[in-house]
Structure 1
Amino acid sequence: MIDEVLFLRHGRTAYNLARRLQGQIDIPLDIVGRWQADQSAYELAKTYYWAKVAHIADHNDELAQPAYEGAYLADLNEINDAPAASRRMVVVSSDLFRAQQTAHAIADLLGLDVALDPRLRERSFGEWEGMTREEILEQYADDYHSWRAHTGGETKHGVESRRHTGQRGSQAIRSIIAEHADDPTATTLLAVGHGSWIVATVAVLLDMDPDDLNNLGAMRNAFWTSMSVNTGGSNGPADPDTWQWKLDAFNQGPAIAALTDWENGPKELRGPNMPLWKPIVQ
């Protein structure tokens, strides 16, 4: 039974740095993005270390043991009987490679598998994919301003609406939860995806309008959002309309993000020809 959903955005890519709309273009993390993913993975692995214990409790054969004759073996009972073994974590990632890399950064630390699901892909940006905001503004000024104002001008160019993105994402999350409804073990779902997809999905799950400018805001690279879900309504887990959702944290990151230039990474990772990431000013 999944009672917690942890949404994690992928780390930085070259398109993020250049401020190009990625959408569903399959581009990997850059050197700073890999650093971001690792830093968030280290932080989350501390909080969710129990997931590693729980996995070994389910797979005793994966615990490294001395192989020579007469050696003492680790006591499996101390793992199997630990309170940490009473919970589980399931990791599901968008099949776009930048999300896969981010998912594996934490899953590999905890010894967990990563399932891929195309329903977790980023919002499609149609013919705008690969373009910078300056290029869109120059060619499609009215539709650009409409997009920024959340009034839908971008949909003229094959861009998936925020509402459709959120509905697609919420249906995927509900479906994954339903798949685990018969498992009595309390479970955390780690869903690794993309900024626009996460924000729209969370908004729909909370019955918010994804196009409301006063909504949640944006997600930073490799930051996370957590929600609690109670599926024990009067009609049980089979009826998602009875599920109760609570936003526990939004756009949270590792402690190091407050101590360094998170978007640009540490100086030792930045080559002489790497431009600096800059915030959007228009």
Structure 2
Amino acid sequence: MSYAADTLYTPENLPSKLVFVRHAQTYANVNRVWHGHTDTELTDTGHLQASQLGQNFHHYMQPDVIIASPLLRTRLTAQAIADAHQLPVSLDPRLMEFHLGDWENTSFDDLQGKMAVAARLRDEPDFTPPNGESQNMVRQRMVEAVEEIIQEHAGAKVAIVSHGVAIAVTLAHYLANDTTQWLNYNMSNTGIAELCLATRSLPSFNITSHLLETEAK
């Protein structure tokens, strides 16, 4: 199933608020290696970030629904929000990070220096690493998940906890109809972005004011 980027949305058939949250800091973030579907633990800083996100999320949103990628880093981040609001977390594997297949756990420096891989990952929507995914494959599953979520939760306040590139590809789809623009939508760890589908806009982007004592990296 595919969704056209020019789909018309009306406020009455949309969530009253739809936000994306990037997971807290991981060891892969610190070490600058690509972990897409690779499961990775939060750092001590990441656990603190998740705690601060949960404790302060009510200043930004009182969620009715929390949906997350099933990877550990997103589950822990989502659970911090859920615990503060006494809500369950629903898991959806379509919200997982961009999977690089055989190139998982490769450093960013190596990706930039090897066969212009970084440029191809950025600029070619159908470029697929060995046993991995393309931008278009990530867009397909992410947008499919988002469309189902908005149809099932009209009028609700929905928080989607996912991953940096997966969120960026999704925002580039809805806002620019061009996934190669994903670098324009990079978010910090535990960054919050609100997407308004009725106006195709970002009322807020990469909000990290909840991080009181630690930097989002």
TM over 0.5: yes
Q: 1:216 to 1:192 in 2, by over 3 A?
A: same
Q: Residue type of the partner of 2:68?
A: S
The superposition leaves residues 32-76 of structure 1 with CA deviations (integer Å, 9 ceiling, x where unpaired) of 11111122222212333xx3xxxxxxxxxxxxxxxxxxxxxxxxx
**Partner Cα distance (1:145, 1:207) in 2:** 19
Residue 170 of structure 1 and its aligned partner are, at CA, apart by 1.4
Per the alignment, do residues 192 and 127 of structure 1 end up closer, same or farther by CA in structure 2, a change over 3 Å counting?
A: same
Kindly state the Cα deviation for residue 14 of structure 1 after the two structures are TM-superposed: 0.8
**Alignment partner, residue 192 of structure 2:** 224
2:172 to 203, 208, 212: 203
The 8 Å contact of residues 143 and 154 in structure 1, kept in 2 or not, is answered as no
Q: Which has the larger radius of gyration?
A: 1
Say if 2:66 is the partner of 1:111. Answer: no
* In 2: Cα distance, 1:125 partner to 1:162 partner: 10
- 1:93 Cα deviation from its structure 2 partner: 0.6
1:187 aligns with 2:156: yes
Take 2:190 and 2:48, find their aligned partners in 1: how far apart are those partners?
10
2:111 equivalent to 1:143: no
Query: Percent identity, aligned pairs only?
Result: 29
Aligned partner of 1:14 in structure 2 is 27
Question: Structure 1 CA distance, aligned partners of 2:128 and 2:55?
Answer: 39
Note the aligned Cα RMSD (angstroms).
Answer: 2.4
Q: TM-score under structure 2 normalisation?
A: 0.83
User: Cα–Cα, structure 1 residues 10 and 221, in superposed 2: closer, same or farther, change >3 Å?
Assistant: same
Aligned partner of residue 167 in structure 1, secondary structure: helix
Corresponding residue for 2:70?
Answer: 95
Residue identity in the other structure for 1:202: L
Change (3 A) 1:105 1:218: same
Q: Are the structure 2 counterparts of residues 180 and 145 from structure 1 closer, same or farther at C-alpha, using a change threshold of 3 Å?
A: closer
Cα separation, 1, equivalents of 2:108 and 2:19: 30
Cα distance in 1 for partners of 2:119, 2:16 equals: 39
* TM-score, normalised via structure 1 length: 0.65
Q: In the TM superposition, what is the alpha-carbon distance from 1:255 to its structure 2 partner?
A: 5.0
- When residues 90 and 256 of structure 1 are mapped into structure 2, their CA distance, relative to the original with a 3 A threshold, is closer
Would the alpha carbon gap of residues 143 and 262 (structure 1) be closer, same or farther in structure 2, given more than 3 Å must change? closer
1:216 aligned counterpart, secondary structure: helix
Q: How many equivalent residue pairs?
A: 204
Q: Is 1:46 equivalent to 2:21 in the alignment?
A: no
Rounded to whole Å, the distance in 2 between the matches of 1:160 and 1:37 is 28
Deviation readout 1:80-118 (Å, 9 max, x if unpaired): xxxxxxxx6111011111100000111100111111111
C-alpha distance after superposition, 1:213-244 (max 9, x if no partner): 7x6231111111101234xxxxxxxxxxxxx5
**SS of residue paired to 1:199:** helix
